[in-house]
């Protein structure tokens, strides 16, 4: 990796080498680029270079209107699109003072938690594959496809769902849907323990991830990390618990927090393990949501020509990648005046430069995967 230079006395010296990882590298989880400054196999810096997936999505909101922007929100995080749908709906409803029917809120929770499991399964499998474990990826994708079958039955799509609406959701649960979700959970929960056996306690896996790139709680909060990346550093914060929205206060669930079980608090292994544990908590929420599902409509009456009064609102919700914030300003017209979205992946990208110093080049793959970064959340 380094360039050898012969000195006058016959000795050898090395100079720093600049390498490019991405934007086409498979382990960058999208069109991300890192400019790596390395001396041999040891990195001095890994500088993120973003913007390859920039689509002006926030500006698009100002041009397509309140209802028209909902399908675009799927593209904010296409790995866990339901929660992005929900964030836009919540912001619009807050401006328009619209109350969502309780059954509609329960449908949102069911869709969002299925999507959260989907996202964490892909993160689990992709991180394993990036580091060299191929088998866990196939197991994770098998489970993800089963959930996609459920989501397709719910809304007709498997990736970009466009299921939620301002005022609720587009459709009620299909007949027999509750029983299918419970049947899947009965199948899935034991599978999580199989995934543990495949990867979590594997000796090579622990060697590659435990103690690698630990982030202290102070550093995590200083960089604005969110979701599992923040909780892996020992910070017990989950928007669903700390600032309950929708109907999450109706459910009993735990918030997994890193404890340095294998290496250090906030290392690559902890970030991975928090997501694995969160899948079981999502399953717990889903069971309660199905059990408590109320009767009634799933969407409020909202004018087609929706024009909320002038004002501004800031809402946040817990997505698969953590605290997603929506700032929306209205000027009383059928088009938003300003939209801004704050995402977990953007914050995670900013910390990699500092973490990379002194790590091996091979460790960068583990670090990127452990933060579960997806490119569309970075470039907006």
Per-residue pLDDT tens for 269-315?
Answer: 999 999 999 999 999 999 999 999 999 999 999 999 999 999 999 99
State yes or no: pLDDT of 15 exceeds 70: yes
> CA-to-CA distance for 179 and 131, rounded, in angstroms?
37
Per-residue pLDDT tens for 334-374?
Answer: 999 999 999 999 999 999 999 999 999 999 999 999 999 99
Q: What is the CA radius of gyration of the chain?
A: 22
Confidence at residue 16, expressed as pLDDT on a 0 to 100 scale: 85
State yes or no: pLDDT of 106 exceeds 60: yes
Per-residue pLDDT tens for 30-88?
Answer: 888 999 999 889 999 999 999 998 989 999 999 999 999 999 999 999 999 999 999 99
Domain boundaries, the chain: 3-48, 54-378
Helices (H) and strands (E) in the chain, counts: 14, 10
> CA-to-CA distance for 76 and 341, rounded, in angstroms?
9
The residue among 329, 255, 274 whose CA lies nearest residue 95 is: 329
Q: What is the CATH number of domain 54-378?
A: 1.10.645.10
State yes or no: pLDDT of 10 exceeds 70: no
Confidence at residue 117, expressed as pLDDT on a 0 to 100 scale: 98
Per-residue pLDDT tens for 202-258?
Answer: 999 999 999 999 999 999 999 999 999 999 999 999 999 999 999 999 999 999 999
> CA-to-CA distance for 56 and 64, rounded, in angstroms?
13
Total residue count of the chain as it appears in this document: 380
Report which DSSP code applies to 360.
B
Confidence at residue 86, expressed as pLDDT on a 0 to 100 scale: 98
State yes or no: pLDDT of 8 exceeds 70: no
> CA-to-CA distance for 163 and 50, rounded, in angstroms?
30
State yes or no: pLDDT of 13 exceeds 80: no
> CA-to-CA distance for 177 and 196, rounded, in angstroms?
29
Question: What residues contact residue 156 under an 8 Å CB cut-off, 6+ apart?
Answer: none
């Amino acid at each position: 990796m380094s360039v050898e230079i012969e000195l006058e006395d016959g000795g050898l010296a090395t100079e720093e080498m600049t390498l490019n990882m991405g934007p086409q590298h498979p382990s960058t989880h999208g069109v991300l680029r890192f400019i790596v400054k390395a001396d041999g196999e040891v990195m001095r810096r890994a500088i993120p270079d973003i913007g390859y997936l920039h689509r002006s999505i926030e500006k698009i909101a100002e041009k397509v209107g309140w209802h028209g922007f909902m399908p675009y929100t799927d593209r904010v995080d296409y790995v866990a699109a339901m929660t992005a749908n929900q964030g836009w709906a919540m912001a619009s409803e807050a401006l328009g003072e619209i109350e969502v029917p309780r059954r509609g809120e329960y449908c949102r929770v069911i869709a969002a938690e299925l999507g959260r499991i989907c996202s964490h399964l892909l993160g689990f499998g992709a991180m394993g594959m990036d580091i060299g474990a191929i088998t866990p990826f196939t197991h994770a994708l098998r489970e993800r496809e089963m959930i996609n079958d459920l989501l397709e039955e719910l809304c007709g799509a498997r990736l970009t769902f466009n299921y939620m609406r301002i005022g609720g959701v587009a459709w009620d649960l299909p007949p027999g849907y509750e029983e299918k979700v419970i049947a899947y959970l009965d199948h899935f929960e034991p599978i999580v323990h199989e995934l543990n056996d495949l990867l979590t306690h594997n000796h090579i896996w622990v060697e590659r991830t435990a103690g690698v790139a630990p982030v202290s709680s102070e550093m995590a909060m200083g960089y604005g990390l969110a979701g599992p990346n923040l909780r892996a550093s020992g910070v017990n914060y989950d928007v669903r618990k700390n600032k309950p929205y929708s109907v999450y206060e109706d459910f009993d669930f735990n918030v997994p927090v890193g404890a340095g079980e294998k290496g250090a608090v906030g290392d690559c292994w902890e970030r991975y393990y928090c997501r694995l544990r969160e899948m079981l908590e999502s399953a717990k929420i889903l069971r309660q949501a199905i059990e408590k599902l109320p009767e009634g409509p799933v969407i409020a009456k909202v004018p087609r020509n929706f024009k909320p009064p002038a004002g501004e609102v800031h809402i946040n919700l817990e997505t698969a990648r953590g605290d997603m914030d929506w700032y929306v300003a209205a000027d009383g017209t059928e088009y938003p005046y300003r939209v801004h979205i704050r995402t977990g992946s953007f914050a995670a990208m900013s910390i990699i430069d500092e973490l990379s110093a002194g790590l091996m080049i091979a460790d960068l793959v583990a670090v990127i995967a452990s933060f579960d970064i997806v490119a569309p959340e970075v470039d907006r």
